[in-house]
């Protein structure tokens, strides 16, 4: 796997940053979470004047072999149908990217369909798009294998997915990006997310499984039975194996690419906005590979998927929003962006007591 050099946040400026925040013309601590966010963002960028320049959103798509076991109410073809919808600007993610000025990269990492009208060799795809939308063909394979019977991907495929995510971040950085959000599209990807949560957090599997796109109680029971068998059948000693082995055995191409993107973004001191059950599972997995990556993340939203709050708690995260969203696509991260923007504007634009000639009363 590609090596990432992710260092814990440099705290040498923490006192100076906190002093600037405390001396803004407001009661100390009166802007609550905005002050915490401002401190984190300033430390990520190692500056007293942070920037959210050129925000980018990665929407990563891939299909899952485990879908063949009936663990999702949505059929496999919804993945490619929605991916095409995104390229035409018609999805929820499109609306929020337009609203908040994010450049949207829609990336086929492993969709079981040829999305390019003139497909090129695997992993060397065409770039098409208009406005703030770019479509990229980075297909590794047409979906993962069924992890009920075998590893979802080979070591080579895993490495390529990590590198794909990393390279996508480099493309964003080349355009001046300082803040990155990531979303996903992949029918049945709550299944690997639940298994990662179970194995990485030591939480009973039953408490990690929810309705996904809309399973009823019988569907949830069936999903639990399938995932339990998959864990029992897997060719790993899950108590002793390395995190990357667990990630590779159960993960999806879009999920592993997201992990690669998170790791590279942290290495390059970008602010990483994390949304939703699947992306939180990816953030969890990334933190098992490199614990320091967690310091570069803002966990933006707690959804209604069963277990999401437990996973956030296990990561020590305080999400900014709880809107009941369960769409995926990174929509919660995009909805939270104005709050993050307010934190940055606070530290950059508010006057201080001295300049405003206001008596400092604390």
Instruction: Check residue 183 and give its pLDDT.
Output: 97
Integer CA distances (angstroms), 341 to 56, 207, 349, in order: 14, 35, 11
CA separation for the pair 261, 134 (Å, rounded): 17
CA separation for the pair 100, 169 (Å, rounded): 19
The strand pairing partners of 182, in sequence order, are 58
How many helices (DSSP H) and strands (DSSP E) are in the chain?
13, 7
Q: What is the pLDDT of residues 249-289, one digit of tens each?
A: 999 999 999 999 999 999 999 999 999 999 999 999 999 99
Instruction: Check residue 213 and give its pLDDT.
Output: 67
The strand pairing partners of 134, in sequence order, are 105
Contact indicator for 6, 290 with CB cutoff of 8 Å? yes
With tokens 């999702």, the residue in question is 72
Instruction: Check residue 42 and give its pLDDT.
Output: 98
3-state helix, strand and coil shares in percent for the chain, rounded to the nearest 5: 50, 10, 40
Domains detected in the chain? 54-339 (3.40.50.10210)
CA separation for the pair 321, 280 (Å, rounded): 14
Torsion of CA 193, 197, 200, 205, to 10 degrees: -120
Which pTM was predicted? 0.94
Instruction: Check residue 123 and give its pLDDT.
Output: 42
- Structure-block tokens of residue 268: 């390059």
Active site residues: 329
Residue numbers in the chain where pLDDT is lower than 50: 119-124
Contact indicator for 215, 302 with CB cutoff of 8 Å? no
CA separation for the pair 55, 164 (Å, rounded): 19
Instruction: Check residue 63 and give its pLDDT.
Output: 98
């Amino acid at each position: 796997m590609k090596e990432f050099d992710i260092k814990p946040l440099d705290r040498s400026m923490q006192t100076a940053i906190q002093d600037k925040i405390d001396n803004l013309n407001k009661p100390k601590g009166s802007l609550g979470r905005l002050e915490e966010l401002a401190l984190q963002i300033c430390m990520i960028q190692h500056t007293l004047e942070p920037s959210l320049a050129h925000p980018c959103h990665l929407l990563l798509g891939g299909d899952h072999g485990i879908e063949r076991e009936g663990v999702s109410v949505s059929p496999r073809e919804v993945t490619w149908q929605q991916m095409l919808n995104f390229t035409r600007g018609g999805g929820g993610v499109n609306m929020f990217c337009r609203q908040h000025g994010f450049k949207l990269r829609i990336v086929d990492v492993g969709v079981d369909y040829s999305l390019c009208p003139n497909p090129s060799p695997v992993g060397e795809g065409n770039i098409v798009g208009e406005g703030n939308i770019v479509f990229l063909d980075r297909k590794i394979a047409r979906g993962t294998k069924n992890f009920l019977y075998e590893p979802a991907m080979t070591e080579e495929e895993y490495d390529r997915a990590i590198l794909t995510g990393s390279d996508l971040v480099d493309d964003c950085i080349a355009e001046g990006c300082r803040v990155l959000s990531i979303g996903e599209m992949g029918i049945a990807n709550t299944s690997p997310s639940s298994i990662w949560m179970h194995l990485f957090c030591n939480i009973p599997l039953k408490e990690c499984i929810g309705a996904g796109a809309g399973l009823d109680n019988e569907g949830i029971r069936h999903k639990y039975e399938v995932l339990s068998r998959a864990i029992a059948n897997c060719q790993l000693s899950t108590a002793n194996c390395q995190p990357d082995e667990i990630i590779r055995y159960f993960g999806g191409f879009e999920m592993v690419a997201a992990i690669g993107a998170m790791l590279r973004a942290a290495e390059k001191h970008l602010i990483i906005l994390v949304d939703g059950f699947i992306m939180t599972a990816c953030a969890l997995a990334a933190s098992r590979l490199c614990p320091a990556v967690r310091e570069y993340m803002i966990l933006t939203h707690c959804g209604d998927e069963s277990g999401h709050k437990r996973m956030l708690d296990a990561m020590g995260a305080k999400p900014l929003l709880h809107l009941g969203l369960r769409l995926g696509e990174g929509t919660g991260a995009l909805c939270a962006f104005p709050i993050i923007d307010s934190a940055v504007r606070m530290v950059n634009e508010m006057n201080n007591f001295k300049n405003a000639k206001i008596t400092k009363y604390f």
